[in-house]
Amino acid sequence: MSATVADAPVAALSEATRARFAREVAKYPADQKQSAVIACLTIAQQEQGWVSPAMEKAVAEYLGMPPMAVHEVTTFYNMFNQQPVGRFKLNVCTNLPCQLRGGAQALAYLEKTLGIVDGDTTPDGLFTLQHCECLGACADAPVMLVNDRSMCSFMSDDKLQQLVDGLKGAEVAP
């Protein structure tokens, strides 16, 4: 059973994290610092790879908002990982335009190649595979996103294999 935000301890924020949070909060009027919640959650995820219930509580405390309000943001947006993920998170668009141009086949190819199913992480912790909602690049379908940052377009089996091989190579490179 996973921890809930109510019973989680509060994560300790490093000075570097607090400084990054402060830069985001400074973009808003003093009485609206809660507006930085998405930015602070993004920073937290960049630093620990996911947003734990303890981190949700720390963000809530920092921003002066109820922990449940932060949890609602974390669970509403699929860009936030609510459990640990692999070093490379592969999100494959499965909305209609991508489906019509091979999105389901791309997901199936990655499942076969990586030996996992949608939502799982490889035993070595290198890859997490997930389907996702529209990434807004329908003309380039099928598309996918690597680590919530790098968009990959026109993902044929060959391009998928090159991507997987390249990411595996990046992992072992000095």
Residue 49: CATH number of its domain: 1.10.10
- Domain extent, residue 29, equals 15-76
| Residue 141, domain member (yes or no) | yes
| Residue 81, domain member (yes or no) | no
pTM for this predicted structure: 0.79
| Residue 10, domain member (yes or no) | no
Same domain assignment for residues 106 and 35: no
| Residue 5, domain member (yes or no) | no
| Residue 53, domain member (yes or no) | yes
Same domain assignment for residues 69 and 140: no
Count of the separate structural domains present in the chain: 2
Same domain assignment for residues 100 and 35: no
CATH number of the domain encompassing residue 139? 3.40.30.10
Same domain assignment for residues 103 and 50: no
| Residue 3, domain member (yes or no) | no
Same domain assignment for residues 95 and 142: yes
**What is the model's pLDDT at position 1?**
40
- Tens place of pLDDT for every residue, the chain, 174 residues? 455 666 667 778 889 999 999 999 999 999 999 999 999 999 999 888 899 999 999 999 999 999 999 999 999 988 899 999 999 999 999 999 999 999 999 999 999 999 999 999 999 999 999 999 899 999 999 999 999 889 999 999 999 999 999 999 886 554
Same domain assignment for residues 121 and 67: no
| Residue 32, domain member (yes or no) | yes
Measured CA to CA, the distance from residue 93 to residue 78 in angstroms comes to 12
CB 80 within 8 A of CB 74: yes
| Residue 129, domain member (yes or no) | yes
Same domain assignment for residues 124 and 164: yes
Question: What are the Cα distances from residue 103, in Å, to 24, 29, 116, 159, 171?
Answer: 36, 43, 17, 13, 26
Same domain assignment for residues 103 and 40: no
